[in-house]
Structure 1
Amino acid sequence: MRLVAVGRMKDKAELALVERYLKRLRPRLDIVELADGRGSAEEIKRREAQAILAAIPAQSCVIALDEAGQARDSIAFAHAMQGWMTAGRVPCFVIGGAEGLDASVLARADGAMSFGAMTWPHMLVRIMLVEQIYRAQAILAGHPYHRAGRP
């Protein structure tokens, strides 16, 4: 699996949270960090799109994190992950920069997902995604990490 993300994670606390879940993932998740674009908003999106598209493995199932994407609960996300893996399409998640994803990246994506209608800082999205991938693996393995019922 791969995560292609614009921006470099520098904050030690945020990095520690990502590392906490990365070391638990099987198969592992490779993170490719890309430099933030420079210039006008359109130029930034264009440059970031070129780098993102170049970092996506050819046969992967590309899932763009986008505010207009599908919001899933954790169990539905786990089943989606299972479907991608069963089909032999290794997931490649994409998180854009501050200007969002260029239309060319969204066109390449096999799907888009959202963490809800709120706007989230990109580094928090990265943390939440890695945790949800771990949670999906736990759900599929029958591990008690995920508690499905409400009190």
Structure 2
Amino acid sequence: MRFVFAAIGRMKAGSDKDLFDRYLDRARKVGRGLGVSAVEVIELAESRAARAEDRKGEEAAALLAALPGRARLVVLDEAGKAMTSAGFSALLQAWMDDGVSDIAFAIGGADGHGAAMIERADVSLAFGAMTWPHQIVRILLAEQVYRALTIQAGHPYHRA
């Protein structure tokens, strides 16, 4: 099983990237014992198209082309479904139990996801009704993946 974090835009060096990398490292370490062979990051350039719909379409095409073809896809979208940490962990566990080889998480550009990305998604996930900066969404996602894995491993990190 492999996790792929795919995002439009690049994280610059600094405290945000350090925190993101720390949670990825933790997820990798806990995940090894659960059959997670890799946690990868794909960063793609933002579209330069003039219109928002064109940018979303170009970015969706780039993300879809970069993802493993048979991956289960979770898109981060403010119109998505809110989940508890335990529910998110259960979803990932169910996919792992089904023998899914890749789980991809997609974070769109500043304008959001294009229609092709939303249509391809297995799950559309929201971290609440507020709009979050992409750097923070990456950190929140990495932390929640780590938390999900600690729940599966019976680690005391998650206190519910």
Instruction: Give the TM-score normalised by the residue count of structure 1.
Output: 0.94
Q: Where do 5+ consecutive residues of structure 2 fail to align? A: none
- Among 6, 9, 18, the alignment partner of 1:7 is 9
Deviation of the 1:49 alpha carbon: 1.1
SS in 1 for 2:10: coil
The Cα of 1:115 is off from its aligned counterpart by: 0.3
Superposition misfits of 4+ residues, deviation over 2 angstroms = none
**Distance (Å, rounded) in 2 between the aligned partners of 1:72 and 1:46:** 27
* 2-structure distance, mates of 1:70, 1:91: 17
Q: CA deviation at 1:121?
A: 0.5
| Structure with greater contact order relative to length (CA < 8 Å, sep ≥ 6) | 2
State the match for 2:125 in structure 1. 113
Note the residue ranges of structure 1 that are not aligned, 5 or more in a row: none
The answer for the alignment partner of 2:80 in structure 1 is 69
Q: What's the secondary structure of 2:112's corresponding residue?
A: coil
- Give CA-to-partner distance per residue, 1:70-118, whole Å, 9 cap, x none: 1011111110110111112221010000010000111111111110101
1:32 is matched with which residue?
42
- May I ask how many residue pairs the two structures share in their alignment? 148
Identity in percent: 49
